[in-house]
Structures are given as C-alpha cells and as structure tokens.
Structure 1
Amino acid sequence: MPLSKNVKKTEYLPAIPPVNCSIAAEQMLLKNKNFIGQIPLNDDIYSVSLYCFRHFLLHLNIGPFVFFYLTWFVIWIYHFGLSQYPELGIIITVIIAIIHIVICLFCYWFVEVRAFMQCYPERTPSKAEVVVVKPTANNGYPEMVPLHHGQDPQTHKEQVWFMFQKSRYVYDESEKKTFQIIDYPLSNSFHTYLQSKGLQNDEIDQATWNFGSNRMVIDIPKFIDLFIERATAPFFVFQVFCVLLWCLDEYWYYSILTLFMLITFEVTLVQQQKRNMATIRTMGNQPYKISVYRQRKWIKIDTTDILPGDICSVLRTNENNPLPCDMLLLRGQCIVDESMLTGESIPQMKVRKRLIDELVIFQLPND
C-alpha cells in the first residue's frame, strides 16, 4: 500500500497491525476427547496437545530396535552360528532394518506418530516442553513446536507461549485456562484513539513483549534441511528402494548411476528453491525512519520498531515509501495507492471518519 507523493498534510495514525482472531465455537472443540492439556479458542486451530520428550533411548523408534538388533545378533551368533547361516542372518537383519527405517520415516511424515514415539503426554503447561498444534481444515498442517517459558515484564509472572504460523499464543492461567492469541487494540472506541497520548515506558515494554518487531521475515532454511525434506518424500524413498533392488542384479552399476542422477536432480531443485526464496526475501519492504509520539514527545524510530498503539506522523516523501502497517487516520488527509490491495489503478483519498458519537466502537472490517 505505497503512499502517494500527493500527500499534502501530516497525518497522525496509531499503528494497528492486521489480525484475524475471531473466536471459534468452544463446543466443537470439546467434542474431541483425545486432546491432552488445553486448547485455544481460535477458529484457525482445532486443538493443542502438551508433551514432554522421553529419554533418547526410550524413544519407541530407537530403544526397542536396539533391543531387537542385539537380541537377533546374539541368537544368530550363538544359536544358529555366524558362518553356518549367513543368508538367514542377513535377511532377518535387513527385514528389521527396513521396518526400523519405515517407522522413522513415519515419525518424520506424521506429527502424531512422532509425538507417540518420542514423547509422553503432559497436562501441566508449566512442565510441558513441546505442543502438537492441529489446525482446522484448510489452515495448514499439524506441527510440533517448542513451548517457551518466560516472565511477563509488567506482572513479573511466568508466561507460557508458543509460536504457530507467525502468531503467538499465550497460556491464560488466571481465567480461561487456555492458550489465547495476543489481542490487538482493535475494540476500543474512536474517542479512545482520538484522545491517545502515545505509548509510555511501561506500555512500550509490554507491547514489545507481546507483539515483537513490525517485520515479516522470510526464513531461508539451510541446504541440508531442504534436501532432507525432499529426500524423505515418499516418491523419492520409493525410487531409492527400487534402485537398491536393482543393485541385486548383475547390472548394479546402472542402478548406482540412476541413484547418482536422482540425487543430482534433487540437489539442483534445492539450489533453485533457495535462490527463489532469496529473491522473494529481497522484494520485501525496506525499513525507514518514521516519527512517532512516545513519552509525550516526537522521536524518530525505524518502521520495524512500530508497536500497536503508536501515534505516527506520515509525510510526503520522495522515496514513495509504503505504509509500514495498517493504520487509522486521526487527523489530516492523504492520497494512497491501493492497487496492490484492491486492484484500483486510481489513488484514493483518505480522510478522517466523521463521527456523530465518538463512543462508537471501532470495527476493523467496516472502518
């Protein structure tokens, strides 16, 4: 939403980032009797399950198979004989290894399987280490994310939260006993916004703790992470399995060449994916200085440091900088280019909304 150069007056706007936080029906969530711990009342998330990691050797995809390998080797060596039944020993060892690999792949493909194999349920949020988040339909895939523990800078109480799809969910221990998304100041009256005096020291610390910086960072994964993601895809695993079967034939060198070509092709795709992500990352808005009213005075800060509740002064600039966030116009008027949002090629005039009653509650979709 780039700002047009035709702006003639100064505008003061409180920064209010967009949010989609409508409350879902609690009864629909409570129908699921298999969840462990608490669930957030949010229409983007179906349930949240709390877990703690088992010891490494107690993972069901590791510990039991260590026992199976050792038990079979003892039986093979001391009962059948290592030199008398080599084929039998190799065949059974390969069967155990294939089952082991398949179970490990299922732990990688399915979050629920990984939680069952490597974790145990925990009902107390303060003791849990990770959470399994299941989104509603068409809102992404289940993820296992770490559970963070920290201290609120204002109340000095311990807070438990996790990050899911770039949104922060905090455990409300006092009232609802659920994970709640951080609420933005969107439900106040227009009078509250018009009479705002900017953020003070304690409000700045609290807002920084709650909302973080005003930036959208595109994380570029490491090469090895992207390659593992592609190398563990079911189709690629099936191709590698077929290559291993072909290696049992006398023309094994053709199979090795095929495997080399498969790996080379995947490496090329990963490099291309990293280049595309780096290109998209450079297309983001670059930070610039903006005037905000804090602690009863105007100061210059980076646009990445804007917080919800800030009063900003937007002036006509030669750089044609875009607005750094969603804003409510309090004073003045401006002309903005909304072509990237609405498709309108003609810049639109924005003026302060005329109100008969300033106690009317602000509504984001309509105002």
Structure 2
Amino acid sequence: MLGGNSRNRTHKRHLRTAVAGTAAVVFGFAPASAAADAVPDLRPEQWGLISIGAPEVWEETQGEGTTVALPGFAVLEDHPDLRDNLTLDTGFGGGGDEAVGTAAAALVAAHGHGRDADGGVLGVAPEAGLLAVPTEDDLPGAVRHAVSEGAPVILLPENDGGEDLAAATEEAAGAGILVVGPAEGGDDPNVLAVAGVDEANALIPGSASAETIELTAPGAELDTADPELGAAQVTGTPYAAAMAAGAAALLRTHYPQLGPEQIRTALVEGSQQGPGGLPALHVPTADRQAGGTAEDIPLIDEDLAQRDDDGGGVPVWAWLASIGAVLVLGVLLLVVWVRRSSADPYGVKAERAAEDERIAAERAAEAGPESRRRQKGGRRRKPRRGA
C-alpha cells in the first residue's frame, strides 16, 4: 500500500484546542501564555533536526525556490504548518493514508505556526515547496507527472521493485531529478535508498539489509504534523527518507549548478559514521562537500557562452550594413520632411497665380481694342519722307 508499511508507527499528540483563546489573540486582548498553550512549540523536541545539524545551515539556505514532489502521498492541504508551502494535485485520483503523507511532508518542509513560526513543527527545509500527487494505484504515473512539473527532488513513499516504477525513476534521473526513497523493497540504482535510525543511532526494527542502504537518517519517534491539525510522533523508513529529501532541497537551493548525482554524492560522502559504518546524514558536512564540488562548476555554462560568442555572434559586416541602412533611411525621411515642409499644402501659391491671371485679364479688357491691336501687331512704323 502506498504511503508506508506495517512497520510505520504514529503516536498522536493532541493539542489543546482553544477557539476562544485563538480569537482573543486575533483581536489582541489575550495574554501571551494563552497563545503558547494553544500552539505549543515542539521544535526543541525535534531531535531529528538537531541530529542532522539542519539548523546550522539555515542562515545560508532553507530550501527556498526548490520544490520537493511527493508522488503517492496524501497530504492535508490545510495544515497550518504546511500552508503556502504545499500544492496538492489530485489528478491521479487521490487516496492514500493522509496521516503518513502529512507527517512526511512536514518532515520535509513544515514552517511552523504563525507569522514568526513560534509554534508547531519545522521541516528540514522550511522554505521549500511541496507538490503532493496522491494516488493509490499509479505511482509510476505520479512520478512521471512530478517530472513534467520540473520538481528537482522527488520523495517516494515506497520502492516496490516493479519495472514500471523503475522505468519512471530512470526517466526522472535522466531529467536531472534526484529521487529519494526508503531502503526497502527493490534495489533501484536511480533512487537514493535511505534507512531510519533511532536516537541511539541504531537502525530501526525491520530495516533493510545493509548492502541495500545508501544513507541513514533519523526515522524513529520524530515529532511532526498530523491531519488533525496537531502533532504526532512517527517511526518508519519513509520518514527517514523524508529527512534526506529535505536535506537534498537545502543543497539544491544553495548550489543550483550541481546535478542530482553530485548532490547525491555530497549527501553520502559528506556524512558521518552511522550504525555498522553506514553513512549517517549530516547537513553541514554535506553542504561543505557540495560547496567544494560547486567551486569548479560555474553557475553559467561558460562553454555554451563561448560558443555563442564564437559562432552565434553577428559579423562586423552585418553591423556595418545595418548602420548604413539606418543612415540611408534617416536621409530619406529627412528629404521627405523637407519636401513636405516646402510644398503648398493649403493652395496659397495656386490662388495667387489665378489672381494674377485674373488681374492681367481685367487690365487687358480696360485697354480697349486699340491696345489689343497694338499688342497684336506691335509698334507702327513711321512713314518715310517723300512718300
């Protein structure tokens, strides 16, 4: 069944509901103790966060701008610790255990209650986004949908070893996505397989064999959110995988130039010693490991930029031709403007010419026939003497 297995345990912590007290806080007349009673701060009790050192890197990165997809997880959309971080996509039918999904989502990216997160629980990457795609019978399809949505990290609820799921995770890895899942079931090379440990750094009961475990993370009695708008303690391998997915979101935000395999390597090689010599998740050392790798990888692909400069630039002759064309166009526009400005748009010159012709005609009429004959024949010759 999607979303967990029989080894997962959930112990609910029911919060005291105080509707009247909450309303009083909204209107500003309740004492601070009432608010603290209504929304207890569970962060000091979250041993998993302290164990992996997540708060030590929060000044540098909290996962902002990175989305972790949760295909197969049913998550309560209205939980106050997840509100605004979570997008719920029910295009694959929904369904599933909402308690498991909400708990796992909160371990990845819960941000606490209230404007200042002064209560509730926190996830490993409190500012990361979450895309939940619940489904009961099409986990491979939900994984492919998460790939199409561009989520750089995918958290699986299970790894059943099926060919369809393996094909979907292979597509995800090929698209540059890091897939994280519980170390149980199939051995998928495209999935970072995570096992859970308790506070004593021992594998939780029922863990997979050591050769199938790539990384360990806290997975026992973890304080997290539950669908009743309160908190719960959970134990199970999927919750350890959720912790690792949150850590991957932190590194992905801090070093966006790194690919999924480089982040995966940083999480494993930047670990501490766990049970039986297995790698144990530790975010600060993983972050330093990733930083060392990122030093040699620029944020911009310099080879691509060089190719653009060498082969994709505009030739000099093309620039000169463009400038010449602009100048010619400018000269033509100037000529047109001058001609238009010196023309006779209102017909003044034509009227003056017509008026001159009319005046000349009137004068000719006043001069009489004799004048016209003179104009026609010219000057009279004087008679010769003796004629």
Smaller-chain TM-score range?
under 0.3
Higher strand proportion: 1
Structure ranking higher in helix proportion: 2
Q: Which has the higher contact order (CA 8 A, sep 6+)?
A: 1
Q: What TM-score, normalized by structure 2, do the two folds share?
A: 0.21
Larger radius of gyration: 2
Superposition TM-score, scaled by structure 1 size: 0.22
